[in-house]
Amino acid sequence: MTQIAEVDPRLPAAGPGAEPAPAPAPAPAPAPAAGADRTARRLAIEEAAARVITDPANSRTAARLLAEEIAEEAAGHGVRAFSESVAATHAAGLVQDRLAAFVADHAAELDALVEDGADDRFEYFGLRTVYDRYLLRHPETRAVLERPQHFFLRVACGLSESVAEAAELYRLMSTLSYLPSSPTLFNSGARRPQLSSCFLLDSPRDELEGIYERYGQVARLSKYAGGIGISWTRVRARGSLIRGTNGHSNGIVPWLRTLDASVAAVNQGGRRKGAACVYLETWHADIEEFLELRDNTGEDARRTHNLNLANWVPDEFMRRVEADEVWSLFDPKQTPDLTDLYGEEFTAAYRAHEAAGHYVRQLPARTLYGRMMRTLAQTGNGWMTFKDAANRTSNQTGRPGNVIHLSNLCTEILEVTSDAETAVCNLGSVNLAAHVRDGEVDWERLRGTVRTAVRFLDRTIDLGFYPTPEAEAANKRWRPIGLGVMGLADVFFALRLPFDSPRALALSTRIAEEIALTAYDTSAGLAAERGRHPSYDETRAAGGVLHPDHYLPATPRWEALRAKIATTGLRNSLMIAIAPTATIASIAGCYECIEPQVSNVFKRETLSGEFLQVNRYLVADLQERGLWTQELRDAIKRADGSIQDVPGIPDELKTLYRTAWELPQKALIDLAAARQPYVDQSQSLNLFMASPTIGKLSSMYAYAWKQGLKTTYYLRSRPATRIAQTTVSTSTATLPAEAEAVACSLENPETCEACQ
């Protein structure tokens, strides 16, 4: 029986090919003896989990006890070996015939791959998430029919053509060095292997049939566990003339209300709530009503409570905000060309329509920008994503007519869409924490992980089930993948680098470059082996231009890679996208994607329950100094997980263990901007502000735009925050408070707390 044990919480998870971690030394805390009944074991699990705040090592202890519980439950259905698990799940109708046959043909070899001690790498929260949400269960008894390592190996086999391939991917997953995204984890090897994370739909045609066709596509995609991004920019504005009836349109809001209800009704395969994000360009005449869709006040018939909202912002708008100029709003029925233009061509067409008087109305650009900031502050929604930056550097937009019209649900995917093509992306993330050894990043191990990840992400394109023909056509034409990262904060903690330090920025940038170089090189190798993606000749890479070329002078390594690609081409049009990783980071036991920690001690509520989380790196430092006392723990709890005002903690620890709320947001933006040359899609970049004001937000997002970011994600604020309105006595005093605050912020950027 597992004993409650002491574990050095700063030891990173084992990397690919690493030896299993040494068994921890026993601690005096008791646990049930061997043979104790399940009730006693469950009480011990609860006890160990409750004591995580005292010693984070108890998280591993609770996980080991839960692993025993899972093994016993599976054994009750005759499942002990991996081959028995696949046989049982196949008999229950849960996995595909192909997987069952593959495992039956190689049962002994595959059973031998399972590492018995690998479950010891889980934290309790991670293993509980796997148990509650990912393990296949008997349809009637609901008992699990696979153990955690069987689950990992089943996913690997579902994507593999040989035992050697399955072993390679299983090794990465079992060491928590790399994990595919949740749809792949849910469905690899399943009867209907929908492996993709993201679907991006172009705006529907501005006609009844086109709109209802999009509703149907969204419903089918959501049914099979896809997160949806959809543009609505082509749909005519409120008051637009309907020539067939001589009536006038009600605009986009009623259509989005219907979409909202559909997203709520069709959940993601019964596993997750349906989720969609609607994108609208800033020049659309309904933009102000769009910004009010998530408000908690006003007419509920003009609100959508399930849809996320994002602004698709052209540079011309941001320039006019900066210059305090007028902005014109158009009905897309009258200016349909604007949707498919970007950069200088968009600016020229926009100004021509404006000069011709085609606009519906005009307003100060700063007034509209202020309203955008208000929506962000009040709802966290209305994400700022930048149309021209997204299109200007994309490999897919190398030919006229190939245009990116939106991002996805989490703002990290940027792919070409059209009426006939629904963009798709398959995601996976490298756990950077698992690649730190002896005080430095193990670069060769990181490159090995990336090579494996890229090959298997490419494989998902051929093996996946597609809910719509538009999705299948686009994915097989462009073959994009989205390799991301998680655990960056763990790396900084392990290497003692404050998040906003120059060394942290340099390391983050080098990690991004190494991943991109390896991913592109691997894709070139796949192209030589299996063929280029069908649209290769339409890409910038076919003309010798790679993504970093838009930002930086070439280096010898990139020049060598360019020469290789000129010969082989690329298997994938896009490689890198940094997704949020909320769930898979929990499984891996690391911090999410590229984010700083939000608190040193906090409770996390998920579908699996409520779990106490604690920064194990901080605890280890305080334990070494003899400071981790009940009194100190209580003080940190009272401070909502902050240690900045807790007496007795050394200053160097206070600097290292600042939370997202205590870091300058400029640092997060600068980190993202520095890695952007090596991210050919985008990054899910949350920004944090405990008490947002219109002024602070205005300068923060203007800074993000100037730094060349393609997208941003949620604005995170503290609960029950009221928006403080900044007012100044200037020539803009006659404008609404939002515009006053924008003016103050943009004209006096040095006063903005967000960017200091």
| 733 dihedral zone (left: phi>0; alpha: psi -120 to 50; beta) | alpha
Q: Which of 432-436, 635-639, 654-658 has the lowest mean pLDDT?
A: 635-639
| Average pLDDT over every residue of 28-54 | 73
| Average pLDDT over every residue of 640-649 | 94
Residue 338: which of 301, 388, 298 has the closest Cα?
A: 388
Q: Which of 125-139, 240-254, 287-301, 676-690 has the lowest mean pLDDT?
A: 240-254
Active site residue 412: yes
State yes or no: pLDDT of 732 exceeds 50.
no
CA distances from 389 to 2, 414, 721 (A): 53, 10, 32
State yes or no: pLDDT of 236 exceeds 90.
no
Question: How many percent of the chain have pLDDT more than 70?
Answer: 87
Kind plus residue range of the DSSP H or E element containing 423? strand 423-431
**Residue 270 binned pLDDT confidence (cut-offs 50, 70, 90):** low
* pLDDT, tens only, 315-360: 999 999 999 999 999 999 999 999 999 999 999 999 999 999 999 9
pLDDT at position 231 is: 96
**Residue 121 binned pLDDT confidence (cut-offs 50, 70, 90):** very high
State yes or no: pLDDT of 65 exceeds 70.
yes
This prediction has a pTM of: 0.90
Nearest 5°: phi and psi at 686?
-75, 145
Contact 135, 77 (CB under 8 A): no
| Average pLDDT over every residue of 156-173 | 97
Domain ranges in the chain with CATH number 3.20.70.20: 203-397
State yes or no: pLDDT of 274 exceeds 60.
yes
Of the candidates 292, 316, 412, 470, the residue annotated as catalytic is 412
State yes or no: pLDDT of 6 exceeds 80.
no
CA distance 352 to 277: 31
**Residue 267 binned pLDDT confidence (cut-offs 50, 70, 90):** low
Active site residue 752: no
Per the model's pLDDT, the better-predicted residue between 474 and 724 turns out to be: 474
Of the candidates 277, 410, 590, 593, the residue annotated as catalytic is 410
State yes or no: pLDDT of 733 exceeds 60.
no
State yes or no: pLDDT of 618 exceeds 70.
yes
**Residue 29 binned pLDDT confidence (cut-offs 50, 70, 90):** very low
Q: Which long-range contacts (CB under 8 A, 24 or more apart) does 438-442 make?
A: 439/494, 439/495, 440/495, 441/491, 441/507, 441/511, 442/15
**Residue 745 binned pLDDT confidence (cut-offs 50, 70, 90):** low
**Residue 227 binned pLDDT confidence (cut-offs 50, 70, 90):** confident
* First-to-final CA distance of the chain: 53
Of the candidates 58, 308, 311, 408, the residue annotated as catalytic is 408
- Say which residues have a Cβ less than 8 Å from residue 47's Cβ, sequence separation at least 6: none
Contact 195, 188 (CB under 8 A): yes
| Average pLDDT over every residue of 202-208 | 89
Which amino acid, 537? D
**Residue 3 binned pLDDT confidence (cut-offs 50, 70, 90):** very low
Burial of 332 (0-12, 13-18, 19+ CB in 10 A): buried
Token readout for 686 is 């949350």
**Residue 38 binned pLDDT confidence (cut-offs 50, 70, 90):** confident
Q: Which residues of 84-107 are buried (b: 16+ CB within 10 A; e: fewer)?
A: bbbbbbbebebbbeebbebbeebb
Please give the CATH number for the structural domain made up of 203-397. 3.20.70.20
* pLDDT, tens only, 600-610: 998 766 555 67
Contact 70, 144 (CB under 8 A): yes
pLDDT at position 12 is: 35
State yes or no: pLDDT of 11 exceeds 70.
no
**Residue 570 binned pLDDT confidence (cut-offs 50, 70, 90):** very high
State yes or no: pLDDT of 531 exceeds 50.
yes
Q: In the 3-class helix/strand/coil scheme, how is 368-404 assigned residue by residue?
A: HHHHHHHHHHHHCCCEEEEHHHHHHCCHHHCCCCCCC
| Average pLDDT over every residue of 16-35 | 39
For β-strands 436-437 and 178-180, DSSP reports them as: unpaired
Question: How many percent of the chain have pLDDT more than 90?
Answer: 74
What's the mean pLDDT when you consider all of the chain? 88
Residues written for the chain: 756
Contact 485, 433 (CB under 8 A): no
Angle formed by the axes of helices 737-747 and 694-706, to 10°? 50
Q: Which residues of 210-248 are buried (b: 16+ CB within 10 A; e: fewer)?
A: ebeebbebbbbbbbbbbbbbbbbbbbbbbebeeeeeeee
Nearest 5°: phi and psi at 351?
-70, -35
CA dihedral over 409, 411, 413, 416, signed as positive or negative: positive
| Average pLDDT over every residue of 699-708 | 97
CA distances from 365 to 79, 283, 369 (A): 64, 10, 6
- Say which residues have a Cβ less than 8 Å from residue 594's Cβ, sequence separation at least 6: 485, 488, 508, 578, 671, 672, 675, 683, 685
Active site residue 408: yes
CA dihedral over 95, 219, 460, 129, signed as positive or negative: negative
| Average pLDDT over every residue of 521-535 | 98
- Distance from CA of residue 706 to its chain's centroid? 23
